[in-house]
Amino acid sequence: MHPRGSTLAETLVAASLGLVILAVLSFCMVLSGRFWIRADETQTAQQEALAVQVRLEHDYRASRFGSLQVQETVEQTELAFLSYESSGSGDTLWTPQGEIVWRKWVRYRYQKSTGRLERREFPLPEPSNKPDLTAPGWPRGTSGTLLASHLSQFELVQARPDLPLLHVRYTARVGQAGNQAQTLVLPRLYGPDMQ
């Protein structure tokens, strides 16, 4: 360095060093941003899979043995079953003879093209210990409570017909991240309680 300033060579070396440092910092920021986007996608996929698992297990545990109905088409998969829970409170009613009173149908609808899984309740006109086992249809043009919007798979695995096991495999996929999960659940009441 000269007393009057720096030489051209010193200025070029300093500028080059500054550019290299700036390039390294930019590269680190881009990688860090990609990492955080991937982490957010993974977290969203895990949260959706967990929400589906918790809700489906809770609902099916309150179902009636033999009431599970599955309808699969090219566009969607639907499943429905009777439930003894009331909407909101979760309490259970029994007849004086000790038979459970069924209160509603619970339906799930998975739309394959959009990856949406919706849930809807259909209260029985009159709660009964011997309800009609025909599930109400999902009215066209209506939606239910959205449980997941990023499912790339929602597959019912057939179990033995004499066992009321519900086995569902599903995959939540957000961006490049995915989370596979499955639900295996039995109703709380079945067998002798249903006769």
pLDDT tens digits, residue range 10-65?
888 888 999 999 999 989 898 888 888 888 888 888 888 888 888 898 888 888 88
Domain boundaries in the chain?
39-194
pLDDT tens digits along 83-114: 998 876 667 788 888 888 899 999 999 999 99
The pLDDT score that the predictor gives to residue 150 is: 86
Distance of alpha carbon 124 from alpha carbon 48, whole angstroms:
29
**Residue 171 burial (CB count, 10 A):** 19
Residues in contact with 47: Cβ distance below 8 Å, sequence separation at least 6, in sequence order: none
